[in-house]
Amino acid sequence: MREKLQQTIAEIVRGLMDASEKSAALPDFALERPKREAHGDFACNAAMLLAGVLGEAPRDIAQRLVEALSTCPEVVKRAEVAGPGFVNIWLAKESWHGLLRRVLEEGAGYGNSARRAGSRVQVEFVSANPTGPLTLGHGRQAALGDSLARLLAAAGYEVTREYYFNNAGRQMRILGQSVKARYLEQLGLAAPPPEEALADPEKAWQEEVDGLPVVFPPDGYRGDYISGLAARLREEHADSLVEEPAEELFRETAESHIFGEIRKTLADLGIHFDVYANEKDLLKEGKLVEVMDDLRERGLVYEFEGATWLRSTELGLDRDRVLLKSSGEPTYLLPDIAYHREKFRRGFDRVIDVQGADHKEQFPFVTAAVGALDLPAERIELVMHQFVTLSEGGEQVKQSTRRATYVTVDELLADVGPDVFRFFMVQRRAESHLAFDLDLARDTDWKKNPAYYVQYAHARTHGIERKAAEEGVGMPDAASINADALVLPEEIAILRKLSDFPEVVGAAAESHEPHHICYYAQQLAGLWNPYLQDGVNHRVISDDAPLTNARLGLALAVRVVLANALDLLGLSAPERM
RNA sequence: GGCCCAGUAGCUCAGCUGGAUAGAGCGUCGGCCUCCGAAGCCGAAGGUCGCAGAUUCGAAUUCUGCCUGGGUCACCA
């Protein structure tokens, strides 16, 4: 529909330009869906853009466009000049009727395109290090990244979901030490550090308490899960691990257990990764040494005060960064560069990193280094998201990572369920701060909770089908559908909304903004729920067979689009609620 | 202090490659059950788009300065 109109107008515009003998590129005019219904089905700004090229008044040009359009009544029912030179266009009602068949024919594929077919994209997200349960920030990133991956797949990309974590450095060492410390404390061989010492290790740290040594590291991990891990080890091994180094069994047990928990959390969210990559493997495969050598060969590496530095100022950045600490350990930066190089070696056409705002500063160093290694760093894109705050009863729920008193994804998930969780987490633009409204999320009243509102709209299409079955009325299929009986403005409005879907999906995919799908789904549900409610004017199943056929078809088409939208968001599409 | 993000209705936020009378959800207020799901629907009130300039036919949208909130500026990840 839109394509046809776009083409028609392009031809007219070309004609006007040829006639004017002014040579210029065809203006990139917009054919948009006006916000106000009074402005027609489509509005075109071509006249205003042409005004500059042709040197004529926009409204005069618009008038000529309108006249030209009136010669193709099979597409355009009415066109008029409006405002500063818009051309508002009304389509014949019938032109929407073919849509129903198309939606039913394409089904789960409606909204997809092949535009990016053959192109491979990797989406890296979550990437939390296995030092504790996922936080809400990770949860947002999980929902965001997975929806983005689904959108990209809908745009035709071959998508790889990937999770990368650091498991070779200091963090993991401290994790092992933390677990071992709790283990020794539980055996009565060590003393836990006092609260005030943990609050300010700089000042109040003590090596000994009540004659027992304090072995818990000042910057150790303090969550209850650490004590839990220690208790498990104590049950399995009693006191036989007292001499065991913290960096081996303790660390490894902690890592694998915590990572298992993270994967379980993600599975509860319906999120599965294709690849889990980690720092240790890169190290083992010699990728770190290799990157270091290649950077050094390009004169981008130097030694200073015992550490090895990346000469990033040479790459246009504001400072140099350490690659290898004086201890000989790599910083996160070196494996990150190596990892991103591997992404290209693995043949991805595009690489998307989903990261929290706290990582934004680091991103340019990775891309600059990757670029210096003669790789197309501009194909690495960053999707950055802000943090999540919880609000309850109008108050912000206090979160402190430092004190390990934060709400975890598991807890919130147990509270509101995966569907609500995901909907709320992708509802907002990534760059905008997300205030998670716990009261609304917990509200099971579908008319209030937007996630349920959308799901319920979908469930109702099945309700209709159940009703039809009771009445012995069969559902139409793509071949038998005839939408001609749909003439009410609210029916045409729903058809118009359904027709927008592919474009919304395409735009959301290209801009990496899944939140548009939430808005769209709410809007469609906001048309469908009220429509269905008014059983007097819109009775679906009636004695009027053609009308029943058309309205049942409408219900099926709405179901298809809502189901597809819910799928893009990773929500279930229930048949009843 | 430098850089990044945000500041739009009481609240939470869309809209931001410049376009017509700035939208949604929640909340508030007022109506409506002869109706396939009242587990509902309809309507209303509510705005100096942080402030001040600039660009132009036209700015919530672009540019500059400032204010406010958050992030970040480690040999932490």
Residues of chain A with CATH 1.10.730.10: 445-569
Assess contact for A269 and A572: CB atoms under 8 A: no
**For the segment A116-128, what is each residue's pLDDT rounded down to a tens digit?**
888 999 999 999 9
**Range with the lowest mean pLDDT among A79-93, A144-158, A170-184, A335-349?**
A79-93
Which residue's C-alpha is at the least distance from the C1' of B22? A35
pLDDT for residue A352: 96
Q: ∠ CA(A558), CA(A560), CA(A561), 5° rounding?
A: 65
Pairing verdict, β A86-91 and A42-44:
antiparallel
**For the segment A306-324, what is each residue's pLDDT rounded down to a tens digit?**
999 999 999 988 899 999 9
Separation of A358 CA and B51 C1' (Å): 29
The nucleotide whose C1' lies nearest the CA of A444 is B39
Separation of A462 CA and B68 C1' (Å): 50
The nucleotide whose C1' lies nearest the CA of A305 is B75
Separation of A278 CA and B32 C1' (Å): 61
The nucleotide whose C1' lies nearest the CA of A327 is B75
The C-alpha atoms of residue A561 and residue A571 are separated, in whole angstroms, by: 13
Separation of A321 CA and B74 C1' (Å): 10
Separation of A443 CA and B71 C1' (Å): 32
Per-residue b or e along A257-274, where b marks 16 or more CB atoms closer than 10 Å to that residue's CB: bbbebbbebbeebebebe
Longest dimension (CA), chain A: 98
pLDDT for residue A42: 85
The nucleotide whose C1' lies nearest the CA of A324 is B75
Residues of chain A with CATH 3.30.1360.70: 2-91
Separation of A403 CA and B49 C1' (Å): 39
The nucleotide whose C1' lies nearest the CA of A507 is B17
pLDDT for residue A538: 84
- Residues whose CB is less than 8 angstroms from the CB of residue A154 and which lie 6 or more positions away in sequence, other chains included: A111, A112, A113, A505, A509, A568
Q: Which of the four pLDDT bands, split at 50, 70 and 90, describes residue A403?
A: low
Separation of A360 CA and B10 C1' (Å): 34
The nucleotide whose C1' lies nearest the CA of A394 is B11
Can you say whether the dihedral through the CA atoms of A396, A401, A403, A409 is positive or negative? positive
**For the segment A439-495, what is each residue's pLDDT rounded down to a tens digit?**
899 988 888 899 999 999 999 999 999 989 888 888 999 989 999 999 888 898 899
Identify the CA nearest to A242 among candidates A206, A193, A207, A190: A190
- Residues whose CB is less than 8 angstroms from the CB of residue A390 and which lie 6 or more positions away in sequence, other chains included: A136, A396, A397, A399, A407, A412, A435, A436, A438
Which residue's C-alpha is at the least distance from the C1' of B14? A519
Assess contact for A102 and A140: CB atoms under 8 A: no
The DSSP secondary structure of A384-435, one letter per residue, reads EE--EEEEETTEEPP--TTTT-PPBHHHHHHHHHHHHHHHHHHSS-TTS-EE
Q: Tokens 């920030």 sit at which residue?
A: A137
Separation of A444 CA and B50 C1' (Å): 36
- The CB-based long-range contact list for A77-84 (8 Å cut-off, 24+ gap) reads A78/A40, A79/A40, A80/A40, A81/A47, A82/A39, A82/A43, A84/A48, A84/A58, A84/A59
**For the segment A35-80, what is each residue's pLDDT rounded down to a tens digit?**
777 778 888 888 887 776 677 777 888 888 888 887 777 778 888 8
Assess contact for A441 and A301: CB atoms under 8 A: no
Assess contact for A185 and A177: CB atoms under 8 A: no
pLDDT at A23 over 70: no
Assess contact for A317 and A368: CB atoms under 8 A: yes
Which residue's C-alpha is at the least distance from the C1' of B6? A432
**What is the rounded average pLDDT for all residues in chain A?**
89
Return the DSSP state at A323: E
The superfamily CATH assigns to domain A2-91 is Arginyl tRNA synthetase N-terminal domain (3.30.1360.70)
**For the segment A411-435, what is each residue's pLDDT rounded down to a tens digit?**
999 999 999 999 999 999 999 989 9
The nucleotide whose C1' lies nearest the CA of A439 is B26
pLDDT at A24 over 70: no
| Mean pLDDT, residues A520-549 | 88
pLDDT at A157 over 90: yes
pLDDT for residue A548: 92
Separation of A479 CA and B24 C1' (Å): 37
The nucleotide whose C1' lies nearest the CA of A464 is B36
* pLDDT above 90 as % of chain A: 62
The nucleotide whose C1' lies nearest the CA of A467 is B36
pLDDT for residue A421: 95
Separation of A171 CA and B76 C1' (Å): 8
| Mean pLDDT, residues A80-100 | 83
Separation of A122 CA and B26 C1' (Å): 37
A218: tokens are 């000042």
Separation of A435 CA and B32 C1' (Å): 35
* HSE, side-chain direction, 13 A CA sphere, residue A405: 5
Strand order from edge to edge, sheet including A301-304: A301-304, A307-310, A321-324
* HSE, side-chain direction, 13 A CA sphere, residue A375: 27
The C-alpha atoms of residue A427 and residue A516 are separated, in whole angstroms, by: 8
Backbone angles phi, psi at A509, to 5 degrees: -70, -45
In DSSP terms, A108 is beta-bridged to none
Separation of A170 CA and B24 C1' (Å): 47
The nucleotide whose C1' lies nearest the CA of A466 is B36
Q: What is the CA radius of gyration of chain A?
A: 30
The C-alpha atoms of residue A104 and residue A253 are separated, in whole angstroms, by: 52
Separation of A246 CA and B74 C1' (Å): 25
**ipTM summary value:** 0.91
**For the segment A330-387, what is each residue's pLDDT rounded down to a tens digit?**
999 999 999 999 999 999 999 999 999 988 888 999 999 999 999 999 999 999 999 8
Q: Which of the four pLDDT bands, split at 50, 70 and 90, describes residue A22?
A: low
Per-residue b or e along A88-104, where b marks 16 or more CB atoms closer than 10 Å to that residue's CB: bbebebebbbebbbbbb
Pairing verdict, β A395-396 and A388-392:
antiparallel
Which residue's C-alpha is at the least distance from the C1' of B32? A534
Separation of A384 CA and B31 C1' (Å): 46
The nucleotide whose C1' lies nearest the CA of A435 is B12
Protein-contacted bases of chain B (C-beta within 7 A):
2-7, 12-16, 19-27, 35-42, 57, 69-77
The nucleotide whose C1' lies nearest the CA of A307 is B75
Which residue's C-alpha is at the least distance from the C1' of B73? A361
Cα→Cα distances A62→A56, A69, A80, A488, Å: 10, 10, 8, 30
Architecture, CATH, for domain A445-569:
Orthogonal Bundle (1.10)
